[in-house]
Amino acid sequence: MSERQILLEAHEVAKHFGGVKALHDVSLTIRRGEIYGLIGPNGAGKTTFFNCLTGLYRNEGGYFVFDGVKLAADAPHKAAEVGIARTFQNIRLFGNMTAIENVMVGRHLRTGAGVLGAITRNAATRAEEAAITRRAEELLHYVGIHERAHDYAKHLSYGDQRRLEIARALATEPKLLALDEPAAGMNGTETEALRVLVEGICRDGVTVLLIEHDVKLVMGLCNRVAVLDYGEKICEDVPAVVQKDPRVVEAYLGGSVA
Amino acid sequence: MNDRLRKSAAWRQHWVGLLLVGATLLAVPFIAALGGQAWVRIANFAILYVFLALGLNIVVGYAGLLDLGYVAFYAVGAYTYALLASPHFGIHLPFWVILPFGAALACIFGVLLGAPTLKLRGDYLAIVTLGFGEIIRIFMNNLNAPINVTNGAQGITLIDPIRIAGFSFADTTNILGLTISGPQKYYFFLVALAIAIIIINVRLQDSRIGRAWQAIREDEVAAKACGINTRNIKLLAFAMGASFGGIAGGVFSAMQGFVSPESFSLMESITILAMVVLGGMGHIPGVILGAVLLTGLPEALRYGIEPLQRALFGRMIIDPESLRMLVFGLALVLVMRFRPAGLWPSSQRRRELTESTD
């Protein structure tokens, strides 16, 4: 595999909480333009891996190479800056801001107006504000919730909140979009709509890293899948192979099926 | 056509409103003067507290950082003015040099306070900021030896009044047959500054920076994940808030002609915070209302209780000073009980407090 093809390389990432080894030398590579699934039973370390990648946690061992550059992920905003955007397992929107304002916050990183610009409201700042609003509207359209643009985030339905979180993440212009259980709590129709959305995002050139419990969704959507169990990667391959791997079956069903 | 008519009607309403506010602002010092110059001074203090409350509102209301040491910046501004425009060091710089300088200095102190508190939230932050406020006051109190910088508890006297083109704000002048007293001049100066500060606040609120502050208040982790450098944006909130405190301090010095450490007690910080909370955190009109009410009400009680008692009972029953604080405290309790989001909250704040946020 050539260097150009690899977007993210995790190299022996380790993290422990006290005596608990949450991640045990996890290595994986994500290629440009793919949808990469990260699955595993509860407590396998999937979210911990996400938090290390996005700088919320500091990993004790190993490192990440993103887009050819080693990540000094000691601050979450830096991860966002290099192009890693994420959503959260338990949705974390700015509840008392409107949907469009949430997305506008996502534009913070790629815009530059400071205090002086805000106070003088000069032509450059006004143009930038207009561009922020326009982009936010486009993104709300893109995820299909533009009709709720001026509703408060906490008043949106569950599925719409998930979509809004994705729109906010996309506003940071990521190269890698990391989704933490986006289908959790969704019904069949909503999950199907989400699948279409994620496929669209990938087609538009954003690589997707997906943590998911819904095995059916992962198998149908992902190009490749890694399985974590007790903080260790036990398998990494295309869905069809992963599904049949005995270690994966064991991890999910618990013990040997005698 | 119809649309244009409606638009022009809306505009007319807008202008009528502005004219009314303008006329009221113009009339206040002259109406207040009927009750004595003391009332003009009270009006001036009300505006000074509007500066302070708006400054603190950036830190507490927008960014959601509980700051109990805000008075420190007020003190920094006040002492900067006092030292640079008094016989104490024999320096007499003009106000338009000192005020921006004081604001910048307060700004630096804001960052100094902010830096060690970045990882703290809520109660812990409040305690650290409280400590900072006290440190500054104690410094002012004791910085008279070995080199006499602040003149200790005696404070600094004979501070220059504000002068514009040789036209002093300390004494009375006659313009076109109109007698304008010193406090009345300060009043107009303060109103002009207040308008500028309000415009700055409104613009900051509706900007990229304002949104970032709001995002941090709502969910700091999510704000970070959105690429907001929360450290810098929080420091910016401290710095901006502090600079308004610094300006207020400078004007206070000039107006009073005297500063001493006792003007910058913890009680002062708490009063300013009460103005912000009582008026409506994060909502500029609410904060202004809070500042005006909490300055005006105690004074009105001070002057109103004695005649009221005499009228009702024919003699003094309770000492006005103690009754004043009782009524004041009761009013605060009642407002917070029945209007927890403040007297005039933003629609957003009201939602936060009336609905559960999951």
Q: Which residues of A149-167 are buried (b: 16+ CB within 10 A; e: fewer)?
A: beebbbebeebbbbbbbbb
Lowest mean pLDDT among A28-32, A112-116, B61-65: A112-116
> Which residues from chain A sit within 8 angstroms of residue B214, using beta carbons?
94, 97, 101, 105
Q: For A73, which residue in chain B has the nearest alpha carbon?
A: B225
Q: Is the bond into B146 cis (omega within 30 degrees of 0)?
A: yes
Mutation target for B interface from A108, A129, A166: give the one with most B CBs within 10 A. A108
Query: With the CA atoms of A103, A106, A112 and A118 taken in that order, what torsion angle do they form, in degrees rounded to the nearest 10?
Result: 50
**Which of B203, B208, B214 lies closest to A119 in CB terms?**
B203
Q: Which residues of B148-172 are buried (b: 16+ CB within 10 A; e: fewer)?
A: ebbbbeebbeebbbbbeeeeebeee
Q: Which domain holds residue B158?
A: 36-280
ipTM: 0.90
pLDDT over threshold 60, residue A90: yes
**Which of B208, B226, B358 lies closest to A172 in CB terms?**
B226
Domain count along chain B = 1
Report, as an integer, the average pLDDT of A71-81. Answer: 83
pLDDT over threshold 50, residue A4: yes
Contact status, residue A115 vs residue B267, Cβ threshold 8 Å: no
Asked if A233 has any chain B CB less than 8 Å from its own CB, the reply is no
- Pair (A219, A247) in one structural domain: yes
pLDDT for B358: 40
> Which residues from chain B sit within 8 angstroms of residue A115, using beta carbons?
204, 209, 236, 240
| A118 with B219: Cβ contact below 8 A | no
Quick one: CA dihedral B131, B132, B134, B139, positive or negative? positive
| Cα–Cα distance, A131 to B242 (Å, whole number) | 31
pLDDT for B326: 81
The residues, any chain, with a CB within 8 Å of residue A140's CB and separated by 6 or more, are: A99, A100, A103, A146, A148, A149, A164, A167
Tokens encoding B206: 């509706």
| Cα–Cα distance, B154 to B217 (Å, whole number) | 41
> Which residues from chain A sit within 8 angstroms of residue B204, using beta carbons?
115, 118-119
Tokens encoding A176: 């890698």
| Cα–Cα distance, B167 to A14 (Å, whole number) | 71
- Pair (A100, A122) in one structural domain: yes
The residues, any chain, with a CB within 8 Å of residue B121's CB and separated by 6 or more, are: B65, B220
Query: ∠ CA A23-B121-B355 to the nearest 5 degrees?
Result: 95
Q: With respect to residue B333, please indicate whether it lies within any of the assigned structural domains.
A: no
pLDDT for B226: 93
Tokens encoding A24: 């045990």
Domain count along chain A = 2
Q: Are strands A6-17 and A20-31 parallel, antiparallel or unpaired?
A: antiparallel
- Pair (A67, A47) in one structural domain: yes
| A152 with B351: Cβ contact below 8 A | yes
Tell me the pLDDT of chain B averaged across its residues: 86
Contact status, residue A101 vs residue A152, Cβ threshold 8 Å: no
Q: With respect to residue B239, please indicate whether it lies within any of the assigned structural domains.
A: yes
pTM score, whole prediction:
0.88
Lowest mean pLDDT among A74-83, A168-177, B95-104, B303-312: B303-312
Q: For A131, which residue in chain B has the nearest alpha carbon?
A: B208
Q: Which domain holds residue A108?
A: 93-173
- Pair (A70, A178) in one structural domain: yes
pLDDT for B153: 82
**Which of B204, B218, B219 lies closest to A118 in CB terms?**
B204
**Which of B219, B227, B351 lies closest to A94 in CB terms?**
B219
Instruction: Render pLDDT for B43-79 as a digit per residue (tens, 0 to 9).
Output: 999 999 999 999 999 999 999 899 999 999 999 999 9
**Residue closest to B268 by CA, chosen among B30, B78, B84:** B78
Final residue of a structural domain among A173, A199, A219: A173
The CATH number linked to A198 is 3.40.50.300
| Cα–Cα distance, A252 to A236 (Å, whole number) | 15
- In the block, tokens 């005499």 appear at B310
Q: With respect to residue A157, please indicate whether it lies within any of the assigned structural domains.
A: yes
- Pair (A64, A181) in one structural domain: yes
| B215 with A132: Cβ contact below 8 A | no
Q: Where are the alpha helices (DSSP H) in chain B?
A: 2-34, 37-57, 71-84, 95-117, 122-142, 182-205, 208-218, 220-225, 230-256, 266-279, 284-313, 320-338, 347-354
Q: What is the DSSP letter of A88?
A: -
Q: Are strands A35-39 and A224-229 parallel, antiparallel or unpaired?
A: parallel
Tally of CA atoms within 13 A in the half-sphere of A150 that contains its CB: 0
Mutation target for A interface from B199, B206, B208: give the one with most A CBs within 10 A. B208
Mutation target for B interface from A77, A91, A166: give the one with most B CBs within 10 A. A77
| Cα–Cα distance, B202 to A214 (Å, whole number) | 46
| Cα–Cα distance, A172 to A221 (Å, whole number) | 24
| A105 with B204: Cβ contact below 8 A | no
Beta strands in A126-258 (DSSP E): 176-180, 207-211, 224-229, 232-237
| Cα–Cα distance, B155 to B261 (Å, whole number) | 7
The total number of residues shown for chain A amounts to: 258
pLDDT for A255: 58
- Pair (A74, A180) in one structural domain: yes
Final residue of a structural domain among A124, A155, A173: A173
Tokens encoding B211: 């949104």
Chain mean position to CA A194? 14
Strand partners, A177: A85, A208
- Pair (A79, A99) in one structural domain: no
> Which residues from chain A sit within 8 angstroms of residue B225, using beta carbons?
54, 56, 76, 80, 85-86, 88, 92, 169
pLDDT for B59: 93
- Pair (A57, A179) in one structural domain: yes
Interface of A with B in 147-206 (CB under 8 A): 152, 154, 168-169, 171-172
Q: With respect to residue B218, please indicate whether it lies within any of the assigned structural domains.
A: yes
- In the block, tokens 């561009």 appear at A131
Q: What is the DSSP letter of B160?
A: P
Residue A16 has phi, psi (to 5 degrees) of -130, 150
pLDDT for A256: 54
- Pair (A66, A111) in one structural domain: no
Q: In what order do the strands lie in the sheet with A20-31?
A: A20-31, A6-17, A61-66, A69-70
How many A/B residue pairs have CB atoms within 8 Å? 110
Q: With respect to residue A131, please indicate whether it lies within any of the assigned structural domains.
A: yes
Lowest mean pLDDT among A18-32, A221-235, B29-43, B197-211: B29-43
DSSP B66-107: --S-THHHHHHHHHHHHHHEETTTTEE--HHHHHHHHHHHHH
Q: With respect to residue B184, please indicate whether it lies within any of the assigned structural domains.
A: yes
CA distance A241 to chain B (A): 34
| A106 with B226: Cβ contact below 8 A | yes
pLDDT for B103: 94
The residues, any chain, with a CB within 8 Å of residue B145's CB and separated by 6 or more, are: B152
Final residue of a structural domain among A125, A140, A173: A173
Q: Reduce the DSSP state of residue B112 to 3 states and report it.
A: helix
**Residue closest to A172 by CA, chosen among B217, B205, B225:** B225
Instruction: Render pLDDT for B240-295 as a digit per residue (tens, 0 to 9).
Output: 999 999 999 999 999 988 999 998 988 889 889 989 988 888 889 999 999 998 88
The residue ranges of chain B whose pLDDT is under 70 are 1-5, 7, 166, 177, 348-358
CA distance A22 to chain B (A): 21
Residue A29 has phi, psi (to 5 degrees) of -125, 135
Cα first-last separation, chain A: 39
Q: With respect to residue B264, please indicate whether it lies within any of the assigned structural domains.
A: yes
| B225 with A85: Cβ contact below 8 A | yes
Tally of CA atoms within 13 A in the half-sphere of B150 that contains its CB: 20
pLDDT over threshold 60, residue A188: yes
Q: With respect to residue B193, please indicate whether it lies within any of the assigned structural domains.
A: yes
Q: With respect to residue A140, please indicate whether it lies within any of the assigned structural domains.
A: yes
| B219 with A93: Cβ contact below 8 A | yes
**Which of A105, A121, A171 lies closest to B203 in CB terms?**
A121
